[in-house]
Amino acid sequence: MKDPRHTALARMLVEYSVSLQPGEACLIQSMDVPPEMTEALIEAVSAAGGRPVVNTSQERLQRALLKNADDDLFSLWADIDEHRMKRMDAFIGIRGYENPKETSGIADDLMSRYMRTYYQRVHHNIRVPKTKWVVLRYPTPAMAYMAGMPTDDFETFYYQACSEVDYPRMSKAMDRAAEFLNRADRVEITGPGTDLRFSIAGLGSVKCDGKRNIPDGEIYTAPVRDSVEGVISYNTPSTYQGVSYRDIRFEFSKGKIIRAEAAEADRINAVLDTDEGSRYIGEFALGCNPRITRPMDEILFDEKIAGSFHFTPGAAYQECSNGNISAVHWDLVAIQTPEYGGGEITIDGELIRKDGRFVHEAFAGLNPEELAGS
């Protein structure tokens, strides 16, 4: 029996997120996702007059491929997938974690080479700038466990956060915030363990309103690459390349992370040493999804937490580029609501957000109560 929630989500992804037009080719990349969900996506692409192309896999198989791979094999994969990605007009990537730690046994240097040799070529260089794309997760018992919920409750939360949000309404509320950020320069962020200063002059901003990630709800810019000074302490866990990190703290000088601390200190420095750009920041974003209020160690959800911001080591997006190039793009999240210690964000001397609530008129439409009907 078909789940009507699959159909509704697939239609939203195809018709709104990637705005697929008749004749356009769409790559559906599904990993650890039930056939019924992939089938719903195929049907939605076909109903829009598009041309579906499907690639399915499992994280366990990905690990088996990676653990015995070398640079020549990474290059072979990239050669093949570059050709396919160049033929695509749109991309929908959906993943359902069975075991979020599946790739944790892969050596750090091997993962770094994979990111440089394969992921950067196929995704950073082609998919991100040259297709209409959206990525999301599929609800699984493993994700419910990460969120600390029974599976049924998590599924309800998932569909509320993903497909029961009025993204056009959110987008309209973001317009004034984007206009403000487009003219802005100096940003100061303070909070427990955080005293950070940087410039965003001339970088502009991008609204994230359901067109790239589902769930969505953030507006981002980037710091001038060498302008970041001070210290930041992140208060949410983050799993990256199969390794869980907590209590992450960075110190900056002239834009560069000169000291990194975490429960996994050696491994975090291995990630930051992937390439020259991985010790610089490629994104600064404000989260505002009213349905998401606490972390679950799943970045596509955590980076949208209402009252949060993320400050991202690694590559900048081309739509808002500060020139930083890296195989890494690691969205690390700090929550500033009272339960997480509070904090303030000031831009050009004006208080924008205090203890997780927007207090400036240009951003006030993004507070949870303003978006509660979405």
What are the pLDDT digits (tens) for 309-324? 999 999 999 889 999 9
The boundaries of the domain holding residue 71 are: 4-163
Which one has a higher pLDDT value, 88 or 68?
88
- Asked whether residue 147 falls in the same domain as residue 189, the answer is no
CATH number for position 77 = 3.40.1830.10
Q: What is the pTM of this model?
A: 0.82
- Asked whether residue 18 falls in the same domain as residue 152, the answer is yes
Does residue 97 register a pLDDT over 90?
no
- Asked whether residue 196 falls in the same domain as residue 149, the answer is no
- Domain-ending residue, one of 123, 147, 163: 163
User: The dihedral of CA 299, 305, 310, 315: what is its sign?
Assistant: positive
Residue 326: which residues within 8 A CB-CB, separation 6 or more? 274, 275, 276, 277, 278, 280, 282, 313, 314, 315
- Asked whether residue 229 falls in the same domain as residue 359, the answer is yes
- Asked whether residue 106 falls in the same domain as residue 192, the answer is no
- Asked whether residue 190 falls in the same domain as residue 113, the answer is no
- Domain-ending residue, one of 115, 132, 163: 163
Q: pLDDT tens for residues 133-164?
A: 999 999 999 889 888 899 999 999 999 889 88
- Asked whether residue 156 falls in the same domain as residue 172, the answer is no
- Asked whether residue 81 falls in the same domain as residue 187, the answer is no
Calculate what percentage of the chain has a pLDDT beyond 90. 81
- Asked whether residue 37 falls in the same domain as residue 136, the answer is yes
Domains contained in the chain, number: 2
* pLDDT score recorded for residue 104: 75
Q: pLDDT tens for residues 308-362?
A: 999 999 999 988 999 999 989 999 999 999 999 999 999 999 999 999 999 999 9
Question: How far is the C-alpha of 239 from the C-alpha of 48, rounded, in Å?
Answer: 36
CA dihedral 295, 103, 95, 28 (to 10 degrees): 140
* pLDDT score recorded for residue 373: 56
- Asked whether residue 154 falls in the same domain as residue 188, the answer is no
- Domain-ending residue, one of 163, 197, 227: 163
- Asked whether residue 28 falls in the same domain as residue 124, the answer is yes
b/e sequence 315-349, b meaning 16+ C-beta within 10 Å: bbbeebbbebbbbbbbbbbbbbbeebbbbbbbbee
- Asked whether residue 137 falls in the same domain as residue 83, the answer is yes
Q: What beta strand segments (E) does 19-176 contain?
A: 25-31, 51-57, 90-95, 132-137
* pLDDT score recorded for residue 265: 83
How many CA atoms, within 13 angstroms, populate the side-chain half-sphere of residue 345? 29
Which one has a higher pLDDT value, 374 or 255?
255
The mean-pLDDT minimum among 105-109, 130-134, 326-330, 364-368 falls in 105-109
